[in-house]
Amino acid sequence: MKLQYRYNPDTCRFEPVHPSPTAWMRRLLVVSLLSACGAFGFFLIYTRHFGFPAEQRLAAENAHYRRQWHFINTELGKSEQRLSALLMRDNTNYRLMLDLAPLSPDQLKAGSGGAPVPLPEDVQHYDELKASYIRLLQLQHRLEVARQSFDELHEEADRKNRMKESRPAIQPVDNRELSRLHTTFGLRMHPIFGVLMDHKGLDFALPKGSPVYATGNGRVSQAHYSPSYGNVVYIDHGFGYETRYAHLQKFIVHPGQYVQRGQIIGYVGNTGVSVSPHLHYEVYYRGVAVNPIHFFQRDLSSEEYLKLIERAGQAPHSLD
Ligand SMILES: [Zn+2]
């Protein structure tokens, strides 16, 4: 501190004046106040431009979370697009191919249905978060729709495959030369009774002992001797189909046995009401006899099929 001097007439000299403690305290107080004001002003200017440290840290965290949120929303959008493509392909290809009803526009769009899911309390007050949360719920709904649809497709494909293997689709005997078919289906003169009667199947003339094949996968429902059919085998193929193989010399399957298409079930004979060795073959669909000739497509070309139909039309009489 700069010293002050005062003139002393007694000594005729300038002598230093020492401030009193009170003056010292006053000066110290002034300096302290000025320093505090300066520091406070600097603090205000700094925080105005850069904010408080806690605010700076929160702002950095906020920016970080916003980037993460943007990333999640982008990925969410990609998932929505991929799922839409998947559902569209499912709807326009697979469900169409398998004769399944298409998914509704509502299912394709949002998969909504049932009671709306309440939003969590934390989400309800933030519009952006709420929008993302709803998108996520919709995605979950659509995933569930896709899962159910794929289960349905798998089940239907499996059912159709089983039906394809079970449906009668080949000739019940070896008829590669197409010469074994002896009669036609429908009304004809009975060879023994001599009256017009309905012939509910087709006759294949073959030597005794020729193998007879199951024409589709199924379960043997009956295998016994009947006065009219002779030794006969019934096969239940499921899906409304049944086949019967009559006048057998003998059968080698038993009721309850599962058989495959092409499996030998017996041999051609002349048992029951029959005029000569042959196989009488019937096909029933939902309990109604149908012309078996329409079920030979599996082992016939188009030309062979037409030739067989022509031959069936020329057949003079049945062998029963
Ligand atoms: Zn017949």
Helix axes of 127-166 and 53-89: crossing angle, nearest 10 degrees: 20
Cα(190) to centroid(ligand 1), Å: 9
The continuous run of DSSP H or E covering 165 comes out as helix 127-166
Cα(292) to centroid(ligand 1), Å: 12
Rg (CA), the chain: 49
Cα(12) to centroid(ligand 1), Å: 164
Cα(199) to centroid(ligand 1), Å: 6
Q: How far is residue 73's CA from residue 255's CA, in Å, rounded to a whole number?
A: 63
Residue 229's pLDDT is: 96
Cα(302) to centroid(ligand 1), Å: 25
Give the other-Cβ count within 10 Å of 274's Cβ. 22
Cα(207) to centroid(ligand 1), Å: 15
Q: pTM to 2 decimals?
A: 0.69
Whose CA is closest to 139, among 92, 84, 90, 74?
A: 84
Residue 13's pLDDT is: 84
Residue 212's pLDDT is: 98
pLDDT tens figures, 260-290: 999 999 999 999 999 999 999 999 999 999 9
Q: What are the sequence ranges of the domains in the chain?
A: 4-50, 53-166, 186-314
Q: How far is residue 183's CA from residue 316's CA, in Å, rounded to a whole number?
A: 7
Cα(191) to centroid(ligand 1), Å: 10
Query: What's the distance, CA 114 to chain centroid?
Result: 21
Q: How many residues does the chain have?
A: 320
Q: How confident is the model at residue 178 (pLDDT cuts 50, 70, 90)?
A: confident
Per DSSP, the residues of 287-309 read TEEE-GGGG-GGG--HHHHHHHH
Cα(162) to centroid(ligand 1), Å: 29
| CATH code 2.70.70.10 for 186-314 | yes
Contact criterion met (CB below 8 Å) for 143 and 83: yes
Per DSSP, the residues of 234-283 read EEEEETTEEEEEEEEEEE---TT-EE-TT-EEEEEB--SS-SSSEEEEEE
pLDDT over threshold 60, residue 111: no
pLDDT tens figures, 133-173: 888 888 988 899 999 999 999 999 999 999 999 999 999 99
pLDDT tens figures, 59-84: 999 999 989 989 999 999 999 999 98
Average pLDDT over residues 291-311: 83
Cα(283) to centroid(ligand 1), Å: 12
Cα(22) to centroid(ligand 1), Å: 140
Cα(259) to centroid(ligand 1), Å: 23
Whose CA is closest to 167, among 296, 280, 255?
A: 296
Q: How far is residue 40's CA from residue 44's CA, in Å, rounded to a whole number?
A: 6
Residue 181's pLDDT is: 81
Cα(280) to centroid(ligand 1), Å: 4
Cα(257) to centroid(ligand 1), Å: 25
Q: How far is residue 235's CA from residue 281's CA, in Å, rounded to a whole number?
A: 11
Q: How far is residue 210's CA from residue 178's CA, in Å, rounded to a whole number?
A: 15
189 three-class SS: strand
Q: How far is residue 151's CA from residue 18's CA, in Å, rounded to a whole number?
A: 103
Q: How confident is the model at residue 239 (pLDDT cuts 50, 70, 90)?
A: very high
Cα(269) to centroid(ligand 1), Å: 12
